[in-house]
Amino acid sequence: MEIMSVKSVAHPDQLDADALRALAQQLMGELDETRQVVAKQAHDIHFKGTHIRKLTHEIAVLRRYRFGKKSEQLGGEQGLLLEDAVDADIAAIAQELINLGGPQPKQKTVSQPKRQALPPELPRVQIHHEPHSTTCPCGCQMQRIGEAITEKLDYIPGVFSVEQHIRGKWACRQCETLTQAPMPAQVIDKGIATSGLLTHVLVAKYADHLPLYRQEQIYARAGVKIPRSTLAEWVGVCGVRLQPLVDALREVILNAPVVHADETPVQVLQPGSKKTHRAYLWAYAPGAFQDLKAVVYDFTEGRSGAHARAFLGDWRGVLVCDDYSGYKAGFAQGIAEAGCMAHARRKFYELHKSGKSQIAEQALKTIGQLYEIEALSAGMSPDERQRLREQQARPIAEALHAWMTAHRIKVPEGTDIARVLDYSLKRWAALTRYLDDGRLPIDNNHIENQIRPIALGRKNWLFAGSLRAGRRAAAAMSLIQSAKMNGHDPYAYLKDVLTRLPTHPNSRIEELLPHRWRPDTA
């Protein structure tokens, strides 16, 4: 008997059901994606709305102070410094609101300084801008019918000059089309200042520590009157524009396996108060033996360890620091600690200087031997440095530890020598961690050298005018000091950055960082 094979054929209804199920799954997937997009947009809108309300309230408070009753304000140089900070804060907040797409801040009700004509005796540098093509879309050749002249005040250190941007006006007589080259993009489009003048104001304020009221006097002697409120507005806007570079520099530093950290106090004054309180400026830099040369300053209201943890974020590496307890929480979360031998040595030095202690003298000699070995390792690779330390430094360090332990047993509790010995013995693991890793320095002097400019500034400006002013100073000084570390003239670097920044893609912001910037790119 012949057996016929019959193919199994699905019923049409079955095919329709499978197709519908597949379509339903596809639609559900698209719906989930749409919900996620909507949720993210709602979150962004909520964040922007909250931030805009916060900034709007902050600018209202500052304006009430700045243009309120004079009896509530400070007098003398303190008042001048604080007014500069408030004016810069107002300009910075206004720029942030514009960046967020918020409402244009209401203008001040008081009369603003009237912009005076630029002195005719200043030299003029003419810069011509013409359209790329003077052929009209209709095919006719355009004719030059005039020009528009925009004057911007420039400053080459020691000399004022005026840039005249001459933009020819071209018209087609047949179809009456008018063409004119646009003005080059500026950091402050409607201001009179070029990037050169803005850079000079920033460098004078944050590198040379000249307050704005002194700069105002210097410019007036040169024949140009620029109100302090105008200088402050320039500083505020530039601070906002430069912040993305500082954020990018922070990310670069946190890619390093070794980071130095230190902090120093700075007095800060808030509007409405005639007293200062202690804030802190933290400094972070890559390891001293790394090729990357950079530093980022972080201005905070206090010295809480939460500020250091917020800056470091998810970074997990070796942190070179002193014995400040604020870093301890980070060590519990996976950050390795490397101590500072210079701090330990300093305590023995102070003890020897005050009491001629023989124990302190012997400790100083032994620690000096460790530093002599470090001097020999200059220019070595990490592996070569570690081998040298293993052969020569480790035996000395072990002998020093045994010697300190033996003497600690003999000295009474509560004495100065007991406290000095305890400092080193309790931190011995951190102090000698550099022996196990050729990438680590023996001390934290690298970052302390980057904090010295801050100490110099404190002698000049005494305090920061506000928390926002402190953060703005930290950002500007981060770029200026990093430029110096890479051998750049801060003026040449910042002038080029401010010139290119308005048209530079944010996706390539790293190209403008001090360690990647080159003068020939200007």
Say whether both 263 and 377 belong to one domain.
Answer: yes
In a domain? residue 510: no
Domain match, 259 and 176 both: no
Token pair 């200059």 is at which residue? 378
Asked if the structure places residue 146 within a domain, the reply is: yes
What whole-number distance in Å separates Cα of residue 95 and Cα of residue 99? 6
Cα(416)–Cα(361) distance, rounded to whole angstroms? 14
| Residue 268 in domain | yes
Q: How far is CA 114 from CA 111, 117, 227, 415, in A?
A: 8, 10, 9, 68
CA distances from 167 to 182, 187, 369 (A): 8, 19, 69
How many Cβ atoms from other residues are within 10 Å of residue 27's Cβ? 10
In a domain, 486, yes or no: no
Asked which of 141, 173, 191 is the last residue of a domain, the reply is 191
Tokens of 34: 């749409």
Alpha-carbon gap, residue 368 to 480, rounded angstroms: 34
The rounded distance, in Å, linking the Cα atoms of 153 and 164 is 9
Structure tokens at 479: 């770029």
Q: Where is the domain boundary, 455, 480, 502?
A: 455
Residue 379 lies in a domain: yes
Amino acid present at 107: Q
Whether residues 289 and 371 fall in one domain: yes
In a domain? residue 272: yes
Could you tell me if residue 21 is inside a domain?
no
Please tell me the pTM assigned to this model: 0.75
Do 395 and 257 lie in one domain? The reply is yes
Half-sphere CA count of 444, side-chain side, radius 13 A: 29
- pLDDT of the residue at 255: 96
**What HEC string does 75-131 produce?**
CHHHHHHHHHHHHHHHHHHHHHHHHCCCCCCCCCCCCCCCCCCCCCCCCEEEEEECC
Q: Whole-angstrom Cα distance, residue 171 to residue 21?
A: 64
Q: Residue 280 pairs with which residues in a beta bridge?
A: 265, 300
How high is the pLDDT of residue 257? 96
Sort strands 318-320 and 296-300 into parallel, antiparallel or unpaired: unpaired
Element (H, E) at 166: strand 159-171
Q: Are 285 and 259 in contact (CB under 8 A)?
A: yes
167 and 283 both lie in a single domain: no
* DSSP H/E element including 268: strand 258-269
Same domain, 335 and 410: yes
The predicted structure's pLDDT at residue 70: 47
* Judgement on whether residues 386 and 296 belong to the same structural domain of the protein: yes
Instruction: Report yes or no on 287 lying in a domain.
Output: yes
Looking at the fold, whether 332 and 424 belong to one and the same domain comes out as yes
The two beta strands, 318-320 and 258-269, are parallel
Looking at the structure, tell me whether residues 284 and 422 fall in a common domain.
yes
Task: Residue 170: give the domain boundaries.
Answer: 119-191
What are the mean pLDDT values of the chain's consecutive 10-residue runs (522 residues total)?
A: 42 64 80 82 76 70 59 47 63 72 58 73 90 89 90 84 92 90 88 93 90 90 90 89 95 96 83 71 94 94 91 95 89 93 94 84 95 94 96 96 94 89 95 96 94 69 67 90 95 94 91 89 46
Same domain, 312 and 389: yes
Co-location of 266 and 158 in the same domain: no
- Residue at token pair 């409405």: 272
Kindly report each contact of residues 98-104 with a partner whose C-beta sits within 8 Å and lies 24 or more positions away, as own/partner: 99/240, 100/48, 100/51, 100/52, 100/55, 101/48, 102/48, 102/52, 102/55, 102/56, 103/52, 103/56
Structural domains counted in the chain: 2
Do 175 and 262 belong together in one domain?
Answer: no
How far is residue 70's CA from residue 157's CA, in Å, rounded to a whole number? Answer: 36
Domain boundary among 191, 206, 240: 191
